[in-house]
Chains A and B, each alone.
Chain A
Amino acid sequence: MSGTPTAEVYRIDWLPGTDVLHGVCHCGAERTAEDPVELWQWMLAHPTGHHPGGHHPTGHLPAGHHPTDPPEHQPNGHRKEPR
């Protein structure tokens, strides 16, 4: 299958210097986790539990706190449009 690019793009960045994964849904919702299985489950549950602007459950890093997060990994800079 090689469909044309769509707007339904999910992204997970492994934040450099940490064990933290940062996920961004195509709807703009964000979440961090240290378990890719858990993060994909949350991501693909869209729209359940997705709150654009950031929803971080207890125990996860608060919004804006991304250790050693380089400029290109800032959530605001993430593409939500197709390539």
Chain B
Amino acid sequence: MTGVTTLARMTAFAKNQWYVAAYGREIGRELLGRTILNEPIAFYRTESDDKVIALADRCVHRRYPLTAGRLDGDTVVCGYHGFTYDTGGTCVFVPGQKRVPRTARVRSYPVVERDSLVWVWIGDPALADPGAVPRAPWLADPRWTTVGGMEPIDADYGLLVDNLLDLSHETYLHGGYIGTPEVAETPITTEVDEGAGVVRVSRHMDDAECPPFYARSTGIEGRITRWQDIEYHAPCLYLLHSRIAPVGVLPEPDGSDPNAFHVEITYAITPSTDRHVYDFWAVSRDFAQDDEEVSTFLHDLNRTVVLQDVAALNVLQKALDTEREGYQELSINIDTGGLAARRILARLATEGEKTAPVVASP
């Protein structure tokens, strides 16, 4: 049978990669805990220079979570016995004795704060290149207005990648919100830049119904030209460049596009555990930037759409968990982009295993 593939039970994690850990606004002078690729991490900002710090969220002493402790200036104090760590993870105080054991340290993680996102490097710190962090500049650009949030999903992160790479599901799962018949009906173009690790999926609808998400935010009445251009920077960042205009309105010959509405939809897909993924989402627009009503509408409607995905993927994961090892599935044309993404993820996971160091537990 064509299109049939046999699947493993979970999508392998890709180490030696940058992952979104949080929005910058989430991290402050309270400890924030996030588990990323099964590694519990504590995040906070320093008092001295507002820098984001990421330390393993387990005290070296008895593995008590540091996030259950407190900050003291730029240091973290374990809430169980007072072991105190500096920003590099070195223990600088233990109770009752002057000598701090040489091995008393927790792992610190490379961090980059960019475009309002906090990225953490999971893997060998020596390989962390801040220049390799993919960009989503509109998130921190005053010419754009952004709303966003994060919803956790109890599923293999590969299910979310599949979901986002194939937008034909909008017609069925999100009908009446962002989906219309034309999304599922329109053929796609898929492009893979193997070396860069980027998958592009484009769907250009020349004459489509305008879903409520765009009708109410743009004020367009009638049918639209709707372009969806996905750019997936494996493994974490997913960008959907969305262009909406009245039917027949195209960009100018010089490349400018003053008569269209542009929405940048950003997702960060951050694997937490084998069955848990952080679904960061943001909607940025270049119109009605100061209109609070539009902001509230887009936030609430997009969150509703994300929660529809959350519910569907939670159900799907439960169903898959009842399948036998090596279960089969069927792929068709709409899956061309998702299949490409899966393969790149598998390659990145293999490469990450080859270079990942063996970290001995302290």
Contacts and interface: CB of A to CB of B under 8 A. Distances in A.
Given A1-B132, A1-B234, A21-B333, A12 B195 contact: no
Contacts of B132: 1-3
Interface residues of A, number: 29
Contacts of A39: 336
B291 interface: no
A16 interface: yes
Interface string B1-31: 0111100000000000110000000000000
Interface residues on B, range: 35 or more
B358 interface: no
Contacts of A2: 132-135, 196-198, 233, 237
B196 A11 contact: no
Given A3-B197, A35-B3, A10 B339 contact: no
B122 interface: no
Nearest to B342: A40
Given A1-B234, A1-B348, A37-B339, A11 B4 contact: no
A8 B5 contact: no
Nearest to A79: B191
A36 B196 contact: no
Nearest to B189: A13
Given A1-B348, A3-B197, A8-B194, A40 B189 contact: no
B331 interface: yes
B191 A40 contact: no
B331 A36 contact: yes
A35 B331 CA distance: 8
Most A C-beta atoms less than 10 A away, residue of B134, B237, B332: B332
B336 A14 contact: yes
A22 to B, nearest CB: 10
A5 interface: yes
A34 B348 CA distance: 28
A3 B195 contact: yes
B333 A14 contact: yes
A38 B335 CA distance: 12
A71 interface: no
9 contacts: A1-B18, A1-B132, A2-B132, A5-B196, A9-B191, A10-B340, A36-B3, A37-B4, A40-B340
Contacts of B246: none
Interface of A: 1-16, 19, 21, 26, 34-40, 44, 82-83
Contact of A37 (B187, B195, B331): B331
Given A2-B197, A9-B194, A10-B194, A36 B187 contact: no
Most A C-beta atoms less than 10 A away, residue of B2, B187, B234, B331: B187
B290 to A, nearest CB: 32
Nearest to A15: B187
Interface in B263-316: none
Contacts of A7: 195
A37 B2 contact: yes
3 closest A-B pairs by beta carbon, nearest first, are A6-B195, A2-B134, A14-B187
Given A36-B333, A36-B335, A8 B195 contact: yes
Interface in B315-355: 331-333, 335-336, 339-340, 343, 348
B190 interface: yes
Nearest to B335: A36
